[in-house]
Amino acid sequence: MTRHQLLIHEDIKYTSHNSSMCCEGIIEKHQFEEIKENAASYLKANSAQNSDPGLCVISCEDISEAEREKIIDWGIRAKNEVLTKHGAYALASGSGIHLSEHGGTGDGIIGALAGAGLRLTGHDGRFKGKFDMKTNNGSLSVKEIEESQLIDKVMDEKFNPLNPEEKVLLGDKIKTVMYDHRSVLLVRKNSDGIWVNLSRKELKEH
Pairwise pLDDT comparison (206 vs 190), residue with the higher score: 190
pLDDT band of residue 108 (cuts 50, 70, 90) is: very high
CATH of span 2-121? 3.30.70
**Mean pLDDT estimate for the chain:** 92
pLDDT above 90 (res 78)? yes
Domain locations in the chain?
Answer: 2-121, 139-197
Rounded mean pLDDT, 96-119: 94
pLDDT above 90 (res 195)? yes
pLDDT above 90 (res 129)? no
Angle between the 108-121 and 85-92 helix axes, to the nearest 10 degrees?
50
One-letter amino acid for residue 36 of the chain: K
Percent of the chain with pLDDT over 70: 99
Instruction: Give the pLDDT confidence score for residue 18 in this predicted structure.
Output: 87
Which residues, in sequence order, are CB contacts of 11 under 8 Å at separation 6+? Answer: 82
Instruction: Give the pLDDT confidence score for residue 137 in this predicted structure.
Output: 84
- CA geometry: angle at 97 spanning 25 and 87, to 5°? 135
Instruction: Give the pLDDT confidence score for residue 154 in this predicted structure.
Output: 97
Instruction: Give the pLDDT confidence score for residue 131 in this predicted structure.
Output: 82
Tell me the residue ranges of DSSP E strands in 80-190. Answer: 97-101, 126-127, 139-141, 153-156, 167-169, 177-179, 182-189
pLDDT tens digits along 13-45: 776 788 999 999 999 989 999 999 999 999 999
Nearest to 148 by CA among 161, 131, 136, 165: 131
Q: How many Å apart are CA 178 and CA 183, to the nearest integer? A: 5
